Amino acid sequence: MIEVEHLSKTYGSTPAITDVTFNVEPGEILGFLGPNGAGKTTTMRILAGYLPATNGSAKIAGFDVHENSLAVRQRIGYLPETPPLYPEMTVEGFLHFVTRIKGVSAGDRSAKVQAAIARCNLQEKRRVIIRKLSKGYRQRVGIAQAIVHDPPAIILDEPTVGLDPRQIIEVRNLIKSLAGTHTIILSTHILPEVSMTCNRVAIINRGNIVATNTPESLMTQLTGGSGYEIEIAGSANLAKQVLQNVAGVSLVESIPTAGAHSHFTPQDNRAYLRVISQPGREPGQDIAAALVRAEFGLYEMRRVSATLEDVFLQLTREEKQFDPEVDSTANEGEAA
Binding site for ligand ATP (CB under 6 A): 11, 14, 16, 34, 36-42, 189
CB of 185 to ligand ATP, least distance (A): 13
CB of 40 to ligand ATP, least distance (A): 3
CB of 33 to ligand ATP, least distance (A): 10
**Residue spans of beta strands (DSSP E) within the chain:** 2-11, 14-24, 29-33, 55-60, 63-64, 76-79, 153-157, 183-188, 200-205, 208-213, 226-233, 249-254, 270-277, 297-305
CB of 81 to ligand ATP, least distance (A): 7
Task: Give whole-number Cα distances, 311 to 211, 242, 260, 314, in Å.
Answer: 10, 22, 20, 5
Q: How many Cα atoms occupy the beta-carbon half-sphere of 320 within 13 Å?
A: 1
CB of 213 to ligand ATP, least distance (A): 20
CB of 308 to ligand ATP, least distance (A): 17
Sheet holding 55-60, edge to edge: 14-24, 2-11, 55-60, 63-64
Nearer to ligand ATP among residue 116 and residue 203 (C-beta): 203
Helix or strand or coil: residue 2? strand
Nearer to ligand ATP among residue 15 and residue 248 (C-beta): 15
CB of 188 to ligand ATP, least distance (A): 9
Nearer to ligand ATP among residue 160 and residue 221 (C-beta): 160
Residues comprising the chain, all counted = 336
Nearer to ligand ATP among residue 208 and residue 217 (C-beta): 208
Nearer to ligand ATP among residue 40 and residue 102 (C-beta): 40
Nearer to ligand ATP among residue 17 and residue 171 (C-beta): 17
Task: Give whole-number Cα distances, 153 to 46, 71, 105, 149, in Å.
Answer: 14, 12, 19, 11
C-alpha Rg value of the chain to the nearest Å = 23
CB of 51 to ligand ATP, least distance (A): 9
Task: Give whole-number Cα distances, 215 to 25, 51, 219, 293, 308, in Å.
Answer: 16, 29, 6, 37, 7
Nearer to ligand ATP among residue 45 and residue 182 (C-beta): 45
Angle at 14 between CA 13 and CA 18, to 5 degrees: 115
Task: Give whole-number Cα distances, 279 to 165, 276, 303, 334, in Å.
Answer: 35, 9, 15, 21
Nearer to ligand ATP among residue 51 and residue 179 (C-beta): 51
